[in-house]
């Protein structure tokens, strides 16, 4: 029987997902020892996607020399020795590294977000991302990144399972930048801690002072808070 495909490590799966959403770019990388000794995973990217990634002169030049009739590039991806994703693609010479667009390291760590209170949103909106499936996006200001916002998106599936995603939105450029797996997980956990502290669900606590209402407390410390998170 054919072998089932190996599950991608979460940091690599996250990075490839962000690449397909055009929140990462591809830049040339030095040969990596992990290519020889580490696990590699098959990957397929289309020319259409590669041509719409954030600008990279080297990638644009490589696509220009690739066979004109090739619409799909197959290859392998892996986590490098520095834990950052790399890949090789048939038809594109060399090793390529997934990288954050813009100034290197700008969004690698969001230093202004240290506690759950730092993730208080200033607005949110809902968008139907599939029939009957609503994603609510919360907008959180980044004081060290003028003109940029952290977006935390929460989607609740019919099964009740909640899916979280996070990225940085640059309002002036109308462009999104991904977060690496470890940073995305960190800010999402802070946001979940915030939501848990603002929304208490359960029987009222034992108290000698009667509560005005029982059930769900839906007011944050400023009279409101993130919804559906």
Give one DSSP letter per residue of the chain, joined into a string.
-PPPPPPPPHHHHHHHHHHHTT-SEEEEE---THHHHS--EEEEEEHHHHHTSSP-HHHHHHHHHS-TT--EEEEEEEE-TTS-EEEEETTEEEEEEEE-SSSTTTTT--TT--SGGGG--SEEEEEEEETTEEEEEEEEE-TTSTTEEEEEEEEE-TTS-EEEEEEEEETTTTEEEE--HHHHHHHHHHHHHHHHHH-EESSPPP-SSPPSS-SEE---TTS---S--
Question: Residue 31: its pLDDT value, please?
Answer: 80
Instruction: Please give the average per-residue pLDDT across 100-115, as a whole number.
Output: 85
Instruction: Please give the average per-residue pLDDT across 104-111, as a whole number.
Output: 81
Question: Residue 68: its pLDDT value, please?
Answer: 86
Question: Residue 34: its pLDDT value, please?
Answer: 65
Question: Residue 98: its pLDDT value, please?
Answer: 96
* Percent of the chain predicted with pLDDT > 90: 60
Mean pLDDT of the chain: 83
pLDDT in tens, 180-209: 999 999 999 999 999 887 655 555 555 544
């Amino acid at each position: 029987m054919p072998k089932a495909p190996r599950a991608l490590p979460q940091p690599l799966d996250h990075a490839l997902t962000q690449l397909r959403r055009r929140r990462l770019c591809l830049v040339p990388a030095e040969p990596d020892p992990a290519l020889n000794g580490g696990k590699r995973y098959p990957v397929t990217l289309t020319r259409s996607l590669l041509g719409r990634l954030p600008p990279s002169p080297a990638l644009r030049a490589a696509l220009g020399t690739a066979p004109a009739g090739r619409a799909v590039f197959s290859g392998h991806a892996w986590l490098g020795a520095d834990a950052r994703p790399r890949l090789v693609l048939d038809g594109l010479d060399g090793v390529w590294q997934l990288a954050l667009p813009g100034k290197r390291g700008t969004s690698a760590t969001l230093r202004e977000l240290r506690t759950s209170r730092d993730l208080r949103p200033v607005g949110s909106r809902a968008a139907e991302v599939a029939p009957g499936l609503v994603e609510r996006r919360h907008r959180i200001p980044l004081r060290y990144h003028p003109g940029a916002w952290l977006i935390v998106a929460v989607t609740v599936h019919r099964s009740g399972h909640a899916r979280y995603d996070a990225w940085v939105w640059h309002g002036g450029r109308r462009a999104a930048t991904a977060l690496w797996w470890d940073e995305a997980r960190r800010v999402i956990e802070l946001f979940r801690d915030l939501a848990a502290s603002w929304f208490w669900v359960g029987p009222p606590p034992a108290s000698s002072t009667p509560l005005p209402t029982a059930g769900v407390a839906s007011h944050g410390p400023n009279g409101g808070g993130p919804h559906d998170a």
